């Protein structure tokens, strides 16, 4: 049973009528935080010239996002730069108010003393949000006034976005519910009681940044899938006029040139990912060998030395490759000056031969040390008494590795293998982008690089979105299929 102090700590000592405003406040604070990154809820899009894909956060930190479609308007002084600056400041003020309300929402998960002090933040943050919204309206009024003065208001396309009223509702709701919750929360009279929070809520708040970042960078971009159903051009807008339904989905498989390119990049992707999966045992072998080293100093040196390449960008890796394999690189210089080989001027980076193997070797060099960390941690978690008991029974070091260490790492390896199979079509872009050239493009262009090339390079945003959607759906299907196979064969799954 839960004791009375624990119920007080969790807020369960309050009747339902008092807990309701508290939960409404928490939900409203969470939704307001999410809305900062949701473009349709942007209260700062006071002109149709502002990119419809810009969120409140983008409006507050990126001057170019606001003005990239206002070149003529700003050059002709139909609106003033000061009005844009005021709009950005207003967006920052609104975000500051949302953050203050979010802090109050987190503190509301604590005991009575923490809750009462936490409600001070939304009681300040909601008026700050309102002040920011007033500044947005002031910026809007100044732009309208200047547009009317130069008789170009129809060119500026001013409007009050729906997100403005959404955030007005958030500000009012947050202030009202915070005030009610503050007034209905009894003041802690015992001076010995300090601010504290139940452990489950502390753990939740520790995970909250990860959850929010996942929502923002992994799930919110799914909103961009709508471009697949429109004839969209960079800088343009989407609406009923350019809605084309599933045109680009059918085009992907009906156009011979596109189908041929897609088959080629799928071949490259599957081969390179297949090579990666086929050599996925290398980090385990490296971790086992490293764990068998008796010298702790040497072990730490090797682990550090092999982990560092993971933090080197692929651009620097390519610079290293140029120094070694280019026409004037180390290999050709060594062959010419030391081995006295005539005509040693081959640019190995420009040759398409064995490109798949080259990419595998570069990727293995860069990632094997980092990938081995999880297996090194797994080895540290294996009960050493098992090895000692095996040695008593006459097992040598190899037998201990084969019968104890490897089986202990198998569950971890299976999880990593399932994730690799699910991401078989997502083997990255940076490595292949920097190593790509006219000679090896046909064998190095993978699916991610193909999406980049047709989307950014050729401005075919709609088609690249369709390819991205198809890749994600196939990846999800492969994940569930591999998970089902694992459950059937091993009786274990990760989902």
How much is the pLDDT for 388? Answer: 84
CA quadruple 40, 45, 50, 55: dihedral sign? negative
β partners of residue 197:
110
How far is it, in rounded angstroms, from Cα 34 to Cα 30?
6
State the Cα torsion 70-75-77-79 to the nearest 10°: 20
Distances (CA, A) of 439 to 267, 363, 436, 453: 17, 20, 8, 16
CA quadruple 243, 245, 251, 252: dihedral sign? positive
Angle made by CA atoms 425, 493, 284, in degrees to the nearest 5: 65
| Exposed / middle / buried, residue 299 (Cβ in 10 Å: 0-12, 13-18, 19+) | middle
Distances (CA, A) of 246 to 100, 249, 396, 460, 466: 44, 5, 63, 15, 9
Nearest CA-CA partner of 237 in 222, 248, 227, 247: 227
How much is the pLDDT for 168? Answer: 95
How much is the pLDDT for 495? Answer: 65
How far is it, in rounded angstroms, from Cα 59 to Cα 22?
31
Residue with tokens 């005021």: 86
Output the pTM of the full model: 0.73
The count of other CB atoms within 10 Å of the CB of residue 171 is 26
How much is the pLDDT for 375? Answer: 92
How far is it, in rounded angstroms, from Cα 144 to Cα 298?
70
How far is it, in rounded angstroms, from Cα 358 to Cα 318?
12
Q: Long-range contacts for 402-409 (Cβ within 8 Å, ≥24 apart)?
A: 405/288, 405/291, 405/379, 406/284, 406/288, 408/378, 408/379, 408/381, 408/382, 409/284, 409/287, 409/288, 409/375, 409/378, 409/379
Q: Treating both helix axes as pointing N-terminal to C-terminal, what angle do 282-291 and 355-380 enclose, rounded to 10 degrees?
A: 40
How far is it, in rounded angstroms, from Cα 235 to Cα 171?
32
Question: What does each of the 495 residues of the chain score in pLDDT, given as a tens digit?
Answer: 445 444 444 444 556 667 788 889 999 998 999 899 888 899 999 888 888 878 899 888 888 888 887 878 888 888 888 888 999 999 999 999 999 999 999 988 888 888 888 999 999 999 999 999 999 999 999 888 888 887 877 888 888 999 999 999 999 999 999 999 888 888 877 888 888 888 888 888 888 888 888 887 888 788 889 889 998 887 677 778 889 888 998 888 888 888 899 899 999 999 999 999 999 999 999 999 998 888 888 988 999 999 999 999 999 999 999 999 888 888 888 888 888 787 778 888 888 888 999 999 999 999 999 999 999 988 988 888 888 888 888 888 888 888 889 989 988 888 888 888 888 888 888 999 999 988 888 999 999 999 999 988 888 889 899 998 988 888 888 888 888 887 887 777 766
């Amino acid at each position: 049973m839960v004791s009375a102090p624990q119920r007080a700590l969790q807020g369960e000592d309050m009747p339902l009528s008092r807990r309701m405003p508290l939960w409404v406040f928490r939900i409203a604070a969470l939704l307001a935080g999410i809305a900062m990154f949701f473009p349709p809820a942007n209260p700062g899009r006071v002109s149709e010239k502002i990119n419809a894909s810009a969120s409140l956060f983008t409006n507050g930190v990126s001057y170019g996002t606001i003005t990239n479609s206002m070149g003529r308007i700003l050059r002709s002084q139909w609106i003033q730069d000061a009005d844009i600056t005021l709009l950005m400041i207003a967006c920052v003020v609104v975000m500051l108010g949302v953050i203050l309300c979010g802090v109050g929402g987190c503190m509301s998960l604590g005991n009575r003393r923490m809750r009462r002090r936490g409600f001070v933040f939304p009681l300040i943050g909601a008026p700050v949000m309102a002040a920011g919204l007033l500044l947005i309206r002031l910026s809007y009024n100044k732009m309208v006034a200047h547009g009317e003065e130069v008789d170009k208001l129809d060119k500026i396309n001013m409007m009050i976005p729906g997100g403005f009223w959404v955030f007005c509702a958030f500000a009012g709701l947050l202030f009202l519910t915070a005030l009610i919750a503050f007034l209905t929360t009894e003041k802690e009279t015992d001076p010995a009681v300090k601010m504290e929070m139940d452990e489950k809520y502390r753990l939740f708040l520790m995970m909250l940044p990860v959850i929010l970042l996942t929502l923002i960078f992994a799930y919110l971009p799914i909103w961009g899938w709508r471009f697949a159903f429109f004839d969209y051009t960079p800088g343009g807008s989407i609406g009923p006029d350019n809605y084309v339904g599933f045109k680009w989905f059918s085009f992907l498989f009906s156009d011979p040139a596109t189908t041929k390119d897609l088959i080629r990049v799928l071949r490259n992707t599957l081969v390179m990912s297949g090579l990666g999966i086929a050599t996925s045992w290398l980090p385990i072998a490296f971790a086992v060998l490293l764990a068998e080293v008796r010298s702790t100093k040497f072990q730490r040196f090797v682990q550090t030395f092999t982990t560092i390449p993971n933090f080197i960008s692929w651009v620097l890796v390519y610079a290293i490759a140029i120094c070694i394999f280019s026409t004037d690189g180390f290999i050709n210089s060594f062959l010419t000056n030391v081995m006295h080989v005539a005509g040693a001027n081959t640019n190995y980076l420009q040759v398409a031969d064995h490109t798949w193997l080259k990419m595998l070797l570069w990727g293995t060099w860069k990632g094997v040390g980092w990938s081995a960390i999880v297996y090194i941690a797994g080895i540290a978690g294996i009960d050493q008494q098992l090895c000692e008991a095996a040695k008593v029974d006459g097992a040598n070091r190899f037998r201990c590795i084969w019968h104890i260490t490897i089986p202990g790492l198998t569950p971890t390896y299976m999880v990593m293998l399932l994730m690799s199979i699910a991401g078989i079509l997502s083997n990255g872009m940076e490595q292949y982008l920097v190593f790509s050239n006219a000679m090896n493009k046909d064998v190095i262009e993978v699916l991610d690089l193909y999406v980049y090339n047709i989307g950014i390079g050729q401005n075919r945003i709609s088609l690249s979105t369709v390819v991205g959607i198809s890749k994600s759906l196939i990846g999800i299907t492969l994940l569930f299929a591999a998970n089902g196979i694992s459950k059937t064969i091993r009786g274990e799954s990760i989902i």
